[in-house]
Structures are given as structure tokens and as C-alpha cells.
Amino acid sequence: MRQDVVAFRVRRTRTLTYRERLRLRLRSSNDESDQAASRPSTSTLALAFRWDARSRRRPTSASESGTGVKVGSIKSLLLLSVLLSAPVAVMAESPSVIEVGKFSNGTVGQAMPDGWKPLIFKKIPNHTSYEVVKDGDVTVVKAISEASASGLIKPVVIDPKEYPIFRWRWKIDNVLQRSDVALKEGDDFPARLYVTFEYDPDKVGFSKMLKYKVGQALFGDIPIAALNYVWDAKAPVGTIVENAYTDFAKMVIVESGTQKVGRWIDEERNIYEDYKKAFGEEPPMINGVAIMSDTDNTKERATAYYGDIVFQKSVKASSR
């Protein structure tokens, strides 16, 4: 700050009006900015943080403002709020739809869509084959299972409360005659979609935590829960039952029987409500989505087709 300005401010402190003092502060601030221009440049945000730090280090007395709060600290906070408001607003915005499986944009002939990886079970030697194909004018994933079981999975991070609507398309060529959702030997489906949920200690009871830890020790990194949306042969649509192998997974019967075989079916579920109904608690974050056609238990053959898979915000939430 120039010495003549300092001297002038010292002489006139007692008589200057508030507006005059503010004008002098702006003038002195501009002088400081002119001097700073000759130094190496630094980001505006970093300067603001240092300014705020200096303001907070200086002693504050109630006499410096009517409320006991320093005007300099308030200004620095206001500046920070302006600087930070733009990036925070961008971060706060989230898409209305999350495309998990954009198979319609896939390359025909691919064994695996981009971003997906094999889901293989160690004790099952025969694996289902998957391929990106054209079905009419649409690109989809085709699965052929012959006494086999394996899937394709995509890791995700999705909040089911924010994106509760789960939508997909699928088609099957046949149902399985010996499948039975209640039995281990019948735990096969021509088409199913897995949705897996991450382990969140804050949302898991003690007994379930112990079971999870045992399973983790035996099988490695496993989800705390899974919803299986399946096309069954006999069970009523809307049925939700425990998986025949583990109560960590629940089976949701979305389609049943032969009535819609050979036709593309568009499905929509509220995964947030399905989880609460199936497990009786709030869902943790979704950490994976998988498609699978399996016939290893029934030793039958199945062909299925999977279209695009998306999560979206509810209409009520998106209209706010």
C-alpha cells in the first residue's frame, strides 16, 4: 500500500463516512493488486484461501464490528462462496438416466460388450456363450446356455434411492422344463439380471455381518446382497423368494411361462422398493449389474437376448 494513502487514512479515520472508508479500502486493495501483479501468478482460489487464513489468524475484537465478527472475514467467506459456487453446482447436477448396458451401440461379433467382464463360477466348468449380434435392426447381446452357467458383469456405483427405476429389454427362445425357483437342482433360468449391493457396515445387523464375514473368508469379495430378476417357467409373476443356495440373494419373478416367448419384452422395476420388500431394510449402494443364462442344474438348453439396461431417477424426483 502506498505511504501517502496510509497517512491519509490515519489522519481521517475519525471523520470519514462509511462510504468514504469503503472507497479508500477498494483503492488500497487495487494498489496491492498492482504490486501482486509483478510476482509469480497464483490461482485465485489459492489466494482466497490464504486471504481467509490471514483474516482468521489476526485477533478479533468485538469493537471491530457491531456483531463482533470481522468485516474482512465476512468478505473472504463471501468471495470463497462465489468462487466455489460454480464447481459445486456442476458437481451437484446428475444425469436423469445412467446407461449401464448400452448394447445397442455395441460392435457385432464382440464376445463381450465394452465395460463388461466375465462372471465365472469356479465349480462350474461349462460356460454360457455370449456374443453381440443384430436382432432385426437392433444390436443386442445373445446368450446360449447348454448345461452351463456363467454371466457378464459390469461394476457400477449407483445409489438406488436416487436412481430407483431399473429398466431393461429381453427375449427368450424357450423356458426350462425342469427349473424350480425353490430348489437347488432347479435354480436355472433362461434369462436373469443380477443387481448386487455393496457391504455397508452401518446398514448391516450383527448376525448378518458375521455370515457375510464367513462368506467373504470362503469366497473372497462378495456382495452383501443381490436381487435376481428372472424369467421362470411356473412361479407367479411378482413372487419374491430366497435363493435356493443363500439368503443373501432374493429371486424376483418378472416373467413366467411361455406366453411371451419369442417376443421382446420391456421391463421396469423400482429396485429401491424391491430391495426393501425383499430384505426388510434400506438398500446400500449398488456395485454391480450382471446378465446370465444358466442351465447347469437342469442340463437343458436355453437361448436369450438382452437389450439395453438403464437406471433412472423417478418421475417424482426428476420433476423437483
Transcribe 86-105 into DSSP letters.
HHHHHHH---SEEEEE-GGG
What pTM value is reported for the model? 0.68
Find the range with the poorest average confidence among 33-37, 70-74, 136-140, 219-223. Answer: 70-74
Q: What is the pLDDT of residue 147?
A: 97
Task: Please state the domain extents for the chain.
Answer: 3-92, 98-318
Find the range with the poorest average confidence among 73-82, 189-198, 232-241, 277-286. Answer: 73-82
Amino acid occupying residue 107: T
Q: Which three cell numbers stand for residue 186?
A: 432347479
Confidence tier at 186 by pLDDT (50, 70, 90): very high
Confidence tier at 247 by pLDDT (50, 70, 90): confident
Yes or no: say if 163 and 98 are a contact pair by the CB < 8 Å rule: yes
Confidence tier at 204 by pLDDT (50, 70, 90): low
Residue 285 half-sphere exposure toward CB, CA atoms < 13 A: 11
CA 262 to CA 301: how far, in whole Å?
Answer: 15
Q: What is the pLDDT of residue 73?
A: 41
- Non-local (6+) Cβ contacts of 211 within 8 A are 248
Yes or no: say if 308 and 99 are a contact pair by the CB < 8 Å rule: yes
Q: What is the pLDDT of residue 123?
A: 86
Q: What is the pLDDT of residue 11?
A: 44
pLDDT of 26 above 50: no
For residue range 162-177, list pLDDT tens digits in order.
999 999 999 999 999 9
Q: Which three cell numbers stand for residue 224?
A: 452383501
Average pLDDT over residues 48-69: 40
**To which CATH superfamily is domain 98-318 assigned?**
Galactose-binding domain-like (2.60.120.260)
Average pLDDT, the chain: 76
